[in-house]
Amino acid sequence: MVLLIKLIYFFICILLILVILVQDPRGGGLAGIFGGPGGTSAFGTKTADLFTKITVALGVAFFIIVIVLGKVATSKSIMLRTIGPPAATSEELPQAPAEEAPVEETSPPPEAPAD
């Protein structure tokens, strides 16, 4: 569930960046400071209103998802402090060294008497 929210958040960020870059700087803003045209748009005036509405909707969605992700992270943090870290599984536990079978010392076989 959190992964899905993070993916949606990522796509909203990308769309928000693209919509802001395509928007017409109506009020002049930074474009007016640097001598850019403040009142013309490459896509017409109706699309400027559409881009403004899309920007507002994406901005609201951005902040809602940030708040949701913050709440999820906080609740996980509180849970970990209350319950403690998750128990280690058998794969994560250190393995005790295997006990070796005792080695019996054997004496060399008796040598045959020399003739």
Domain boundaries, the chain: 2-83
Distance CA 62, CA 79 (A): 26
Residue 21 CA neighbour count, 13 Å, CB half: 6
Distance CA 13, CA 5 (A): 12
pLDDT tens digits, the chain, 115 residues: what are they?
888 989 999 999 999 998 888 876 665 444 454 555 555 555 555 656 788 888 899 999 999 999 999 988 888 776 666 766 666 565 665 666 666 666 677 776 777 776 6
Q: Which amino acid appears at position 31 of this protein?
A: A
Query: If you count them, how many residues does the chain have?
Result: 115
Query: Whole-prediction pTM value?
Result: 0.51
Contacts of 30 (CB under 8 A, 6+ apart): 36
